[in-house]
């Protein structure tokens, strides 16, 4: 006699729940296991439902999450709200900080960061993404941003005795420079239309750029 096998019947399908964090974390792949979860402090959970976001971002939500994982999604959402607009370098700062955590197998709040991006926009916008992505913050004294007349989209990340240097690749910097100049020529500098174009391009960068491919990396 064969052993009894219970039969289960699906009586309801909660589509929103099916897309919730356990499912998305599984699709995020090995990076999710390395980085661990981002625990909410005042929210119950981080939003990931497309209808909760602005119209231009709404259709991109599932693709971005599936391409880059929940950790990068949550971090970029937080960074954009902190930064007050969608920009190239703040998004690159997120991707750089998360890539550093992957390479150093570091959780949030475990890295010390020294940024070479300086204190002058637009390059310094990298610093906002670095802070949110790593948990290193000015308030905690775990990120340093030395003043410089020659800013570079780069940073050194320290975990214990290990140091990792990351820098945005030259072809990415050239693409940003070209896109920025084109936006200025078409819309003027720092005009409302300019920022609309920067937002459009930033959404594209966010979804398209793979953090594993856009940085030079060196352990020091």
Asked if 56 and 85 touch (Cβ cutoff 8 Å), the reply is no
Lowest mean pLDDT among 15-24, 190-199, 209-218: 15-24
Q: How many CB atoms lie within 10 A of CB 212?
A: 13
If you average pLDDT over residues 124-151, what whole number do you get?
97
- Verdict on whether the full-model pTM lies above 0.95: no
Hey, where are the domains in the chain?
Answer: 24-219
Cβ neighbours of residue 167 closer than 8 Å, sequence gap 6 or more? 152, 153, 154, 215, 216
pLDDT at 74 over 60: yes
Asked if 115 and 142 touch (Cβ cutoff 8 Å), the reply is no
pLDDT at 6 over 90: no
CATH code, residues 24-219: 3.30.1330.130
Helix (H/G/I), strand (E/B), else coil: 67:
helix
Convert the pLDDT of each residue in 156-168 to its tens digit. 999 999 999 999 9
């Amino acid at each position: 006699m064969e052993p009894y096998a219970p039969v289960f019947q699906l009586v309801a399908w909660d589509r929103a729940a099916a897309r919730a964090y356990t499912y998305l974390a599984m699709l995020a792949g090995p990076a999710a296991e390395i980085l661990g979860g981002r625990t909410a402090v005042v929210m119950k959970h981080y939003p990931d439902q497309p209808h909760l976001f602005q119209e231009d971002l709404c259709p991109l939500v599932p693709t971005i999450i599936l391409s880059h994982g929940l950790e990068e999604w949550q971090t970029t959402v937080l960074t954009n709200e902190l930064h007050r607009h969608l920009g190239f370098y703040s998004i690159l700062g997120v991707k750089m900080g998360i890539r550093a955590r992957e390479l150093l197998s570091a959780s949030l709040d475990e890295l010390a960061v020294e940024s070479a991006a300086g204190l002058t926009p637009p390059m310094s916008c990298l610093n906002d993404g670095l802070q949110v992505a790593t948990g290193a913050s000015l308030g905690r004294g775990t990120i340093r941003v030395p003043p410089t007349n020659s800013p570079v989209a780069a940073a050194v990340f320290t975990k214990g005795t290990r140091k990792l240097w990351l820098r945005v690749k030259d072809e990415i910097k050239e693409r940003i420079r070209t896109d920025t100049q084109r936006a200025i020529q078409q819309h003027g500098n720092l005009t409302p239309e300019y920022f609309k174009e920067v937002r459009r391009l930033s959404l594209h960068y966010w979804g398209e750029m793979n953090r594993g491919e856009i940085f030079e990396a060196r352990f020091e």
